Chain A
Amino acid sequence: MSPLLSLILIPLVTAAFCMAGAAPRRISLFGAGANLFLSLYLLTSYNLEIGGFQFVSENILVPAYGISFSLGADGLSLVLLLLATLVTFAAVWVSPQGEKFPGMFYACLLFISTGAIGAFASIDLFFFYAFHELALIPTFLLIGIWGSGDRQRVAWKVTIYLALGSFILLLGLIGLWLAVPEGLRTLDIRLLQQLGTAGILTPGPVVYLLLLFGFGILIALFPFHTWAPEAYASAPAPAAMLHAGVLKKFGLYGLLRLVVPIFPQEIQQFAHLVLVLLAGNILYVGFVTIAQKRLDLMLGYSSVMHMGYAFLGFVALNQLGLGGMSLMLFAHGLTVATLFALCGEISRRTGTLEFSELGGLAGITPRLGLLFGFAAMASVGLPGFATFAGEIMIFFGAFAHGAGGSFNWFQTITALSLWGVVISAVYMLRAYRNIFWGARGSAIKDETADLSSGVRWAVIILIAVLLLTGFRPGLLLDYLNPVFAYLP
């Protein structure tokens, strides 16, 4: 059995066991842990000198359409697989004990993980799409059954939004497939990339826009972002970790994997449109984030805001920008996962996430305070964290676009986006102060417990990886850079 297939099957089988009534927490931890080790093993056994897609396995399912269950991974997919397994492991670990229907709960988490892993590991267009769709239903159930607040309405909104995005995406993918000259028709992503870079496959602007907005809705591109903050605020913490940290990266991965190699001209043609929208993400949503009065909503908006940077790297369309974007995917995934995990812990301890009712928590729960501080700094993009490395590469990449002469659009928007760092600092530091420092809030009691050792270690691992890859981004860039070697 190919290792990538095991990576997909392990969570799937574990989920089946959970639903069948095995001790769900223990077996999920075991499955997620095994998967994490497997992805580390894949990362180390990947041959960097050869590069390209490795661990390839193909099973043709529908010859008429060329649908084939093909798996394979290059540097980019491996990094995202590591992200997926790492966050899954952490999400399972921090899942509170004593949830209702624990079997279903863990099964849903593992289904989301399966969907994300399958999408990252597929090199067949059909399964690339299908695996992601598969993760919609567990998200719906997780928010609907275990969510908080106005969970039912939010679950509907998210599902309809994401389904609509997926359909637009599907239209784009069909258009892409039909644009391949007859006789070369294929769903193999590797071949599509080759055809794209060779200039044989030119589907045109309509397909590009369908893909851009299809993926864009899934990524929460401004102005299609309204589903995300509410969803993350309502979802139980482990679900928010998995969705914001991993599943949302599917859209960005799709942009890198399909759109960049096939649509270089269209990306330039519509660069202004994307630049304006991403400025909306960074500045407009940034200000909205500052205005938030609840931690969970604020984190949701901040996660949407950071997607703007990713789009900046995308539209820069050079090695530096795209390398930074993919590094940022990894870093951002870990950061939001950490933040949502800690946010869930705070809410469980105090029963509220309103800034006005919180304060002085660090005096009672110093470990929680310290770790939240680290995560907040990572989110702001402090040097030393991988987020910083990713963002700085994106800024350089975008600014290098058309340098010389007067300021062009790219440079203007990049300069404006730099203010996003200040905006992040404003809301993050304010939130940190409001929750952990200052006068004791009304919801804080003396007997509030600090982090349990289990949760603590899960979070420490996430932060340690962020720091490690922040100080030595080369660890990941060795895998990521060759993927974009064909670009200027």
Chain B
Amino acid sequence: MNPLYLEVSVVVLGIILFMVEAFSGAGSKRSIVYIGFIGLLGILAATFFADPALLDSSAAYARFYSADPLAIFLKQFTLLTTAVVLVMALEYAPTVEAGLPAERRGAGLGEFYTLPIFACAGLMWMASAVDFVMIFVSLELVTITLYILVSYLRRNENSLEAGTKYLVLGALSTGFLVYGITWIYGVTGQFHLATIAAKLPALDQATAPALLFGFGLVLVALGFKISAAPFQFWVPDVYQGAPTPVAAFLAVASKAAGFIVLIRVIQTFFVVPALQEKILPLLAVITGATMIFGNLAAIPQGNLKRLLAYSSIGHAGYLLLGIVSISAPFAGTAIVFYLVAYLVMTLLAFLVTTIVAQATGGDDIANFNGLNRRAPHLAFALMLSMLSLAGLPLTAGFLGKLFIFECAIEEQHWILVILGIITVAAGFYYYLKVIRAMYWQQPTDPDAPEIEVGGPAKLTIALLCALIIWIGVYPAPLLSLLP
């Protein structure tokens, strides 16, 4: 099967869902989620049969579209995330309904279920983008969809505030990106990454500052996407204010795509050792700052979504550590493995948060007090995800960190490794805070009924829990799947 059809089918799926929403009349709109979920899983299955050999290398699109294993992997990653986000959105429906000025029941829900699918298509294109123009266009498709989704709860001030912040800073980073691309184009006369890489070694030394300046600007824009310090200021507010499923989407899919693009851009520039020497220290500083900021700022947080936001910054730091050590033979696999582990545990955390926040009326950590009594299974699932995020052995998160740190040690980035160890220890503190709330504290309302969980959500939670342990204990099958 030609990989080009993958994105096309996702867009077609989105349009079909819009049609269903338009003609299905009032109601709970559950059918949209079901169709979308099944459609996404179908396309996910199709990715395994995508054959890059079918791409016509002489066609015009071949200049900006690639279907290498990395791209296919990210497409699968994005499809899976979107499917889980749809399940989350289903659980989140009551809050959305309350947050919209609706005339009739279910108005506005359909779009909330459908828009993530378009963002998914954008991310899938981003995964295949090997040309600065393509990177820019797909990035905008994703970002504009997310502008809408972040500020979706129009009656909720926090959501609106998050939307505004995301819009202003997102626009700013887009500006940086375009400006950076311009500089790189000015020096090389090319947009295509592979052609740039081929031209770089022959370039005059005098152009290096201009090239580095352009790269720096692109790095700022991508740093915004992956929430690397010092471009992370929007993250906590946006995650906290945005609807929880959207926050999960931002934290997982959007970030992963940012990393894949970053890897592609960096590999382009690393062909010249002189450039690599100049870029590495810069990246190392960003990595250290991201690890420190994310993990230390997470410590005092009292809101779980905010805590997850800071933790996602911290995890971006560890992923960056992998990128800094990209010359190690195993680094590529280590980064991708980390992304998978991160997907599983973060989605699980957001899913449980969505459900519990609905039942208890808030997503402060205090709302999780005594959850063990009210919903032992949810508490266990959240504990598992927190332990994995913290990096306890025999969970997916531990192996992810182990592989990354191993690469960093091999490349002898000692200072970063030591910083990493310290911040991981700090991480234990704030992740355990959540466990403490669930298991140690008394529930605020001891007579509250058990929390009800919908069927699809229950199934997804069980699946994600099993994946965390399975990947953590027996990662060989996953490793053999990774590019």
Partner of B432, one of A63, A131, A159: A159
Instruction: A141 to B440: give the CA distance in the assembly, Å.
Output: 8
Residue pairs across A and B with CB atoms within 8 Å: the count is 74
A168 near B421: Cβ-Cβ < 8 Å: yes
B421 near A171: Cβ-Cβ < 8 Å: yes
A61 near B428: Cβ-Cβ < 8 Å: no
B440 near A145: Cβ-Cβ < 8 Å: yes
A144 near B439: Cβ-Cβ < 8 Å: yes
A61 near B474: Cβ-Cβ < 8 Å: yes
Contact with B along A127-148 (1 / 0, CB 8 A): 0011101101100110011000
Residue B393 interfacial (CB < 8 Å): yes
The residue among B429, B432, B475, B476 with the most chain A CB atoms within 10 A of its own CB is B432
CB neighbours (8 Å) of A129 from chain B are: 393
Nearest Cβ on chain A to B391's Cβ, whole angstroms: 9
Residue B406 interfacial (CB < 8 Å): yes
A174 near B428: Cβ-Cβ < 8 Å: no
* In the complex, chain B residues 406-426 whose Cβ is within 8 Å of any chain A Cβ: 406, 409-410, 417, 421, 424-425
The residue among A104, A131, A164 with the most chain B CB atoms within 10 A of its own CB is A164
Residue B405 interfacial (CB < 8 Å): yes
B392 near A136: Cβ-Cβ < 8 Å: yes
Partner of A62, one of B410, B421, B432, B476: B476
* In the complex, chain A residues 175-199 whose Cβ is within 8 Å of any chain B Cβ: 175, 177-178
Instruction: A69 to B393: give the CA distance in the assembly, Å.
Output: 13
Report if A134-B405 is in contact (Cβ < 8 Å); known contacts: A141-B439, A144-B440.
no
Residue B473 interfacial (CB < 8 Å): yes
A175 near B409: Cβ-Cβ < 8 Å: yes
Nearest Cβ on chain B to A452's Cβ, whole angstroms: 30
A178 near B410: Cβ-Cβ < 8 Å: yes
Nearest Cβ on chain A to B282's Cβ, whole angstroms: 26
Contact with B along A296-327 (1 / 0, CB 8 A): 00000000000000000000000000000000
Partner of B387, one of A137, A164, A167: A137
Contact with A along B128-171 (1 / 0, CB 8 A): 00000000000000000000000000000000000000000000
Nearest Cβ on chain A to B300's Cβ, whole angstroms: 14
CB neighbours (8 Å) of A152 from chain B are: 436, 440
Instruction: A60 to B479: give the CA distance in the assembly, Å.
Output: 13
Instruction: A69 to B475: give the CA distance in the assembly, Å.
Output: 12
Nearest Cβ on chain B to A227's Cβ, whole angstroms: 14
Chain A residues touching B, range: 20 to 34
Residue B185 interfacial (CB < 8 Å): no
Residue B249 interfacial (CB < 8 Å): no
Report if A140-B425 is in contact (Cβ < 8 Å); known contacts: A64-B479, A174-B406.
no
B393 near A163: Cβ-Cβ < 8 Å: no
**Interface residues of B, CB < 8 Å — how many?**
29
Residue A30 interfacial (CB < 8 Å): no
CB neighbours (8 Å) of B387 from chain A are: 137
A160 near B425: Cβ-Cβ < 8 Å: yes
Residue A156 interfacial (CB < 8 Å): yes
Instruction: A477 to B192: give the CA distance in the assembly, Å.
Output: 71
* Least CB separation from B373: chain A residue: A101
B428 near A160: Cβ-Cβ < 8 Å: yes
B428 near A159: Cβ-Cβ < 8 Å: yes
Nearest Cβ on chain A to B318's Cβ, whole angstroms: 13
B409 near A178: Cβ-Cβ < 8 Å: yes
Contact with A along B360-391 (1 / 0, CB 8 A): 00000000000010000000000000010000
B392 near A167: Cβ-Cβ < 8 Å: no
Nearest Cβ on chain B to A100's Cβ, whole angstroms: 11
Report if A130-B394 is in contact (Cβ < 8 Å); known contacts: A137-B387, A141-B439.
yes
Instruction: A69 to B394: give the CA distance in the assembly, Å.
Output: 11
* In the complex, chain A residues 110-130 whose Cβ is within 8 Å of any chain B Cβ: 126, 129-130
A61 near B475: Cβ-Cβ < 8 Å: yes
Instruction: A63 to B435: give the CA distance in the assembly, Å.
Output: 34
A134 near B428: Cβ-Cβ < 8 Å: no
A174 near B440: Cβ-Cβ < 8 Å: no
Interface majority SS on A: helix, strand, loop or mixed?
A: helix
Instruction: A285 to B432: give the CA distance in the assembly, Å.
Output: 31
A145 near B439: Cβ-Cβ < 8 Å: yes
Instruction: A60 to B440: give the CA distance in the assembly, Å.
Output: 38
B398 near A130: Cβ-Cβ < 8 Å: yes
CB neighbours (8 Å) of B424 from chain A are: 167
Instruction: A155 to B429: give the CA distance in the assembly, Å.
Output: 11
A171 near B417: Cβ-Cβ < 8 Å: yes
A144 near B436: Cβ-Cβ < 8 Å: yes
The residue among A60, A155, A156, A170 with the most chain B CB atoms within 10 A of its own CB is A170
B479 near A62: Cβ-Cβ < 8 Å: yes
A63 near B476: Cβ-Cβ < 8 Å: yes
Instruction: A233 to B401: give the CA distance in the assembly, Å.
Output: 34
A133 near B393: Cβ-Cβ < 8 Å: yes
* Least CB separation from A101: chain B residue: B372
CB neighbours (8 Å) of A155 from chain B are: 436
A174 near B429: Cβ-Cβ < 8 Å: no
CB neighbours (8 Å) of B428 from chain A are: 159-160, 163
Instruction: A152 to B439: give the CA distance in the assembly, Å.
Output: 12
Partner of B475, one of A62, A134, A164, A177: A62
Partner of A167, one of B406, B425, B436: B425
* Least CB separation from B472: chain A residue: A130
* Least CB separation from A167: chain B residue: B421
CB neighbours (8 Å) of B330 from chain A are: 64
* Least CB separation from A173: chain B residue: B402
Nearest Cβ on chain A to B314's Cβ, whole angstroms: 15
Nearest Cβ on chain B to A124's Cβ, whole angstroms: 12
Instruction: A126 to B406: give the CA distance in the assembly, Å.
Output: 13
Instruction: A62 to B405: give the CA distance in the assembly, Å.
Output: 17
* Least CB separation from B330: chain A residue: A64
Partner of A156, one of B372, B417, B421, B429: B429
Instruction: A134 to B393: give the CA distance in the assembly, Å.
Output: 7
CB neighbours (8 Å) of A136 from chain B are: 392
B392 near A137: Cβ-Cβ < 8 Å: yes
* Least CB separation from B394: chain A residue: A130
* Least CB separation from B428: chain A residue: A163
Instruction: A137 to B436: give the CA distance in the assembly, Å.
Output: 11
Instruction: A159 to B320: give the CA distance in the assembly, Å.
Output: 27
Nearest Cβ on chain B to A181's Cβ, whole angstroms: 14
* Least CB separation from B376: chain A residue: A19
Instruction: A281 to B279: give the CA distance in the assembly, Å.
Output: 48
CB neighbours (8 Å) of A160 from chain B are: 425, 428-429
* Least CB separation from B440: chain A residue: A144
Instruction: A144 to B330: give the CA distance in the assembly, Å.
Output: 40
CB neighbours (8 Å) of B410 from chain A are: 178
CB neighbours (8 Å) of B475 from chain A are: 61-62
* Least CB separation from A60: chain B residue: B476
Instruction: A129 to B394: give the CA distance in the assembly, Å.
Output: 10
Instruction: A164 to B424: give the CA distance in the assembly, Å.
Output: 9
A140 near B409: Cβ-Cβ < 8 Å: no
Q: List 28 A-B contacts (CB under 8 A).
A: A61-B474, A61-B476, A62-B475, A64-B479, A69-B473, A130-B394, A131-B393, A133-B398, A134-B392, A134-B394, A136-B392, A140-B432, A141-B435, A141-B439, A144-B436, A156-B429, A159-B432, A160-B425, A164-B425, A167-B421, A168-B421, A171-B405, A171-B409, A171-B417, A174-B405, A174-B406, A178-B406, A178-B410
Which 8 pairs across A and B sit closest by C-beta, in order of nearness?
Answer: A130-B393, A133-B393, A163-B428, A167-B421, A144-B440, A164-B425, A130-B394, A61-B474
Known contacts A152-B440, A171-B417, A174-B402, then 13 further A-B pairs from the complex at CB < 8 Å, ordered by chain A residue:
A62-B479, A64-B479, A126-B393, A133-B398, A134-B393, A144-B440, A145-B439, A155-B436, A163-B428, A170-B421, A171-B405, A171-B409, A178-B410
